[in-house]
Amino acid sequence: MYFFSGSIRLCTENTVWNPKGITVAGLLNGLPSTLLEGLQCPKDIYVYGDGTILVADYDNNRITKWDPNATRGVLIAGTVQDDRMYMSDLENYRIQVFPLNTNLISPEAITLIGRYGQGSNIDHINQVASIVASYLNPSLLYMADSKNHRVLVWDYETGTTQLVAGESNTFGSDSMRLHDPSDTDNHRIFLWLNGARQGRTIAGNDTLGNSDYQLNNPSRIRFDSANNLYVVDTNNSRIQRFNLVSNGC
């Protein structure tokens, strides 16, 4: 299996990233800070092709921009450019979409997923923590179904949902199960190929810590144009980059 992300082809079954992370935003010691040199419980990032990143610095209530090799962030403001916004309505156990190309002050949301309430069946969800549209097929919407410890994919064209990673309503740290679909409580980033029955660790060493080889409740990942892996290392209040070693092809 392979795909193109940026300019480099990846044969994902054999792709290797350096297990030693590089701190590209936040303090090296993993401590929180309100200064622009640091972060405090970051939740998400956006990575530009040249490695510049925008960080949602959650507990500091700000978005900061970090250029490559920067030692402090720049306070900025952001804008929305898409024509729709997906939101996980956690306590109502549903995914809502709001149209943005409208003059209405409060546009009406459409429920895409979760019309049947909380549950672990394939047509139910239980607190989706993250939503990502497929890079290769925009009609596919991937959901981290947090409390069911699984990843689901919803097909916009067919209206169907499928299980793609984890086992419904059961968690673990082996190669076939997840603990929260971001695998945050296993303190690792897990690569799970489409159609596979198990995955493998590509970042973190399955133990909590703040060394270059460890993570502490990671929450998001992104890639730059060279397919280097960026990890939002939330409880270490930093962003780690794991450089691509081999594309596996």
Q: What is the pLDDT of residues 62-85, one digit of tens each?
A: 878 899 999 999 887 433 334 556
Residues 6+ apart with CB under 8 A from 244: 8, 15, 16, 17, 18, 226, 227, 228, 229
Residues 6+ apart with CB under 8 A from 192: 151, 164, 165, 198, 199
| CA torsion through residues 125, 127, 131, 134, sign | negative
CA 111 to chain centre: 22
Q: What is the pLDDT of residues 158-172, one digit of tens each?
A: 878 888 777 676 666
| Integer Cα distance of 27 and 144 in angstroms | 28
Structural domains in the chain plus CATH codes: 2-246 (2.120.10.30)
Q: What is the pLDDT of residue 56?
A: 82
Structure tokens at 168: 């419904």
Does this model's pTM top 0.75? My answer is no
Residues of the chain with pLDDT under 50: 1-4, 77-82, 104-105
> Taking Cα atoms as reference points, which of 120, 80, 125, 118 lies closest to residue 102?
80
Q: What is the pLDDT of residue 68?
A: 92
Is 74:83 a contact under the CB 8 Å cutoff? Answer: no
Q: What is the pLDDT of residue 118?
A: 74
Q: What is the pLDDT of residue 71?
A: 94
Q: What is the pLDDT of residue 79?
A: 34
Q: What is the pLDDT of residue 49?
A: 80
| Integer Cα distance of 28 and 181 in angstroms | 27
